[in-house]
Amino acid sequence: MPDSIMYQEDCYVVLEPDQDEQFLTHEELLEKLKAILQTRQNDLPRELQKFTSIDKQAQHLIENFYEIDVGPGQYLQWYIVRLEKL
């Protein structure tokens, strides 16, 4: 049986082309994805077209994917990370 600690999340590291990595909370990543999705409602990936709200689209992305294409040669990637205090 998997250890429940595997499903706990501290934050996400977010990667974008030509930018330094960012550490975001779940809520911050959710807001960032919602802002991106709001501008792409006419060009959504097929997997997201079944959701009627931007909130549900963004939550589905966080739970099931790690990357979204945001334009030619552009992307947004995110990975759950655990931060350990020393």
Domains with residue ranges and CATH for the chain: 4-81 (3.90.940.40)
Q: How many residues does the chain have?
A: 86
Digit-coded pLDDT (tens) for 2-44: 555 545 557 999 999 999 999 999 999 999 999 999 999 998 8
pLDDT at 70: 85
| pTM for the model | 0.82
DSSP 5-51: GGG---EEEEE-TTS--EEE-HHHHHHHHHHHHHT-TTS--GGGTT-
Q: How far apart are CA 86 and CA 81, in angstroms?
A: 16
